[in-house]
Amino acid sequence: MASDEEKDQELEGQEGEAKPAKSKKKLIIIVAAVLLVVVLGLVGFMFLGGKEEGSAEGESGQEEVEHEMAHVEMKPFVVNLSSTTNYLKVVLVLEYDPVIAAGPAGSHGAGGEGGGDGHGGGDAAGPTLPGVLGAREAMINDSIIKVLSSKTAETVLSLDGKEELKEELIEAINEASGLDDAPITNIYFQDFITQ
């Protein structure tokens, strides 16, 4: 019987060791489940939080669609460059913000809204520029001519020179517009010929 008692004690010892092993397994499973819930909660929060930001961005994106930039092609400019033997012929397409170009609320410039459909062409029918810009077209044309005629052929033929010319033209036109905010955001060269 002594051997039976020893066997019982050994079995009890093994069961005692098995119980902590089972409780460790249960503890690991519980910890893993809690971590899984926390991770899924964080991922869900990030997706929901991202959608809220996305919807806020979508709303501002809709505002940008409402304020979509418009384009208008100006009549050709032919000017003497600062070196007396060279000429420059250029046709500019102005990219502008129609809300700013419309001017302050309640004021209407001559010529109305061009919307980028005008082709210039030099018709005497009226201004080719929209809103307040149309009312100040003579000043804007003068500014453009001054900037263009101050350049040399070597300057305007290089890529860097063209980019610098665009920046100077944007600044000069925005200054000549007489508006607090800059209506012209970009300029594109439709034709660019030097001789």
What the block records as the tokens of 73 is 């092609």
**Whole-angstrom distance, CA of residue 43 vs CA of residue 35:** 12
Question: Does 55 or 42 have the greater pLDDT score?
Answer: 42
Query: Which pLDDT belongs to residue 89?
Result: 94
Residue 18 pLDDT greater than 80, yes or no: no
Amino acid (1-letter code) at residue 144: I
Task: Tell me if 120 sits within 8 A of 76, measured CB to CB.
Answer: yes
pLDDT level of residue 187 (50, 70, 90 thresholds): very high
End-to-end CA distance of the chain: 121
Query: Which pLDDT belongs to residue 79?
Result: 93
Task: Tell me if 156 sits within 8 A of 168, measured CB to CB.
Answer: no
Residue 150 pLDDT greater than 50, yes or no: yes
Residue 157 burial (CB < 10 Å; 0-12/13-18/19+)?
A: middle
Q: By three-state DSSP, how is residue 111 classified?
A: coil
Task: Tell me if 83 sits within 8 A of 153, measured CB to CB.
Answer: yes
Q: Could you identify the residue written with the tokens 């036109």?
A: 173
DSSP 8-state secondary structure symbol assigned to residue 119: -
Query: Which pLDDT belongs to residue 186?
Result: 93
Task: Tell me if 100 sits within 8 A of 179, measured CB to CB.
Answer: yes
Where is average pLDDT lowest: 21-35, 107-121, 133-147, 159-173?
A: 107-121
pLDDT level of residue 14 (50, 70, 90 thresholds): low
Mean pLDDT in residue range 144-158: 92
Q: Give percent of the chain above pLDDT 70.
A: 67
